[in-house]
Amino acid sequence: GENVEQHPSTLSVQEGDSAVIKCTYSDSASNYFPWYKQELGKRPQLIIDIRSNVGEKKDQRIAVTLNKTAKHFSLHITETQPEDSAVYFCAASLSTGTASKLTFGTGTRLQVTL
């Protein structure tokens, strides 16, 4: 089955700096890669996703890149703010329309300091 590895497990950056979280996946058939943000005591929230027919996607300060050949994808957060502090999860899925399940990475705890 699919296996997703995520690095680093913790990341501390100063406000205004950039943060990068990297994930690798094992199943070359996976075609959907979402990122979730989970604040303490809250539900995971979908913040951005990318599909295998796209190499990069950007939404304001957040961007995701995908390298299908190397089977890795990354989340980039620019101009970090204290409210970006949370645990971020990457996931991979083979979404065929008939069945799908998300395999998650182990999470990255991002702390943005003033």
Partner 1 sequence: KAGVTQTPRYLIKTRGQQVTLSCSPISGHRSVSWYQQTPGQGLQFLFEYFSETQRNKGNFPGRFSGRQFSNSRSEMNVSTLELGDSALYLCASSLGGTGIPEAFFGQGTRLTVV
Closest distance to partner 1 from the beta carbon of 84 (Å)? 19
Determine if 88 is a binding residue for partner 1 (CB under 8 A): no
Instruction: Give the tokens for residue 43.
Output: 């539900």
One residue of 24, 85, 93, 108 binding partner 1 per CB under 8 A? 93
# residues contacting partner 1 (CB under 8 A): 25
In three-state secondary structure terms, 97 is coil
Cis peptide before 44 (omega within 30 of 0): no
CA atoms of 41 and 29, how far apart (whole Å): 33
Write the CA distances from 7 to 10, 13, 89, 90, 97, integer angstroms. Answer: 8, 15, 10, 10, 29
Among 14, 40, 69, 97, binds partner 1 (CB under 8 A): 97
Q: Does 60 bind partner 1 (CB under 8 A)?
A: no
Residues of the shown chain interacting with partner 1 in the complex, contacts defined by CB under 8 A: 32, 34, 36, 42-46, 49, 89, 91, 93, 95-107
